[in-house]
Amino acid sequence: MKELVAYLAQLLVNNFKEVEINEIQGESTLVIELKVPQDEVGRVIGREGKTAWAIRTILASAGAKSKKKVVLEIIPK
């Protein structure tokens, strides 16, 4: 999942080297923290949150395969 989020973030932000991605594993939940610079947050969230919603939908579909709930947290640096 981390690689999937990294790939999507790389397409969205200008400076990918400043992006940090952490995975926190639980029994039935996987939390992915996406830390982006303050000026890049808008690009990741998108207008009215549509980009973030689309990323979360993709992660939910990928997580269904492994029977885990995937939560994406977008955190500004």
* Predicted pLDDT of residue 55: 93
Q: Which strands sit side by side in the sheet containing 29-36, from one edge to the other?
A: 20-25, 29-36, 69-76
Range of 36's domain?
2-76
**Token pair 């990928």 is at which residue?**
62
The pair of structure tokens assigned to 76 is: 């500004």
pLDDT in tens, the chain (77 residues): 889 999 998 889 988 888 999 999 988 899 999 999 999 899 999 999 999 999 999 999 988 888 889 999 999 98
The structural domain count of the chain equals: 1
- Where residue 12 sits, what CATH number does that domain have? 3.30.300.20
Q: Using CA atoms, how far apart are residues 51 and 65, in angstroms rounded to an integer?
A: 22
Q: Which amino acid is at 5?
A: V
The neighbour count for residue 44, using CB atoms within 10 Å, is 19
Looking at residue 67, the DSSP 8-state letter turns out to be T
